[in-house]
Amino acid sequence: QKEVEQNSGPLSVPEGAIASLNCTYSDRGSQSFFWYRQYSGKSPELIMFIYSNGDKEDGRFTAQLNKASQYVSLLIRDSQPSDSATYLCAVNPPPGGSYIPTFGRGTSLIVHP
């Protein structure tokens, strides 16, 4: 069974620090990886995607992918209280596979002033 594992947290960081969120996946053929942010009472929204090994930066967010280790991470620099949310890691099936993305259960992030 395809799995995506995340530490449920909560991860608590002070304002201005770097928050590091991690995710491992089981399907070695996966090629597309996503991070969603979900505020309490709201729906998930896409914040980052990454397809290639290495780092991808977008503003304060950096996604990191290591396919050999089957590991995806999200770094949030200069964390703000408004970043407090649950972060979901998602992995698409390999091309030609099922149509069902696999989601982790999410990591709760708390940024305290």
Q: Tell me the closest approach of the beta carbon of residue 16 to another protein, in angstroms.
A: 30
- State the SS3 of the chain: CCCEECCCCCEEEECCCCEEEEEEECCCCCCCEEEEEECCCCCCEEEEEECCCEEEEECCEEEEEECCCCEEEEEECCCCHHHCEEEEEEECCCCCCCCCCEECCCEEEEEEC
Closest approach of another protein to the CB of residue 62, in Å: 18
Give the residues lining the site for another protein (CB under 8 A). 32, 34, 42-46, 49, 88, 90, 92, 99-101, 103-106
Of 10 and 16, nearer to another protein (C-beta) is 10
**Peptide bond between residue 10 and the one before it cis (omega within 30 degrees of 0):** yes
80 or 98: whose CB is closer to another protein? 98
Contact 111, 21 (CB under 8 A): no
Between residues 94 and 101, which has the closer beta carbon with respect to another protein?
101
- Distance in Å, CB of 100 to another protein, minimum: 6
Nearer to another protein, 43 or 113 (CB): 43
* Shortest Å, Cβ 66 to another protein: 20
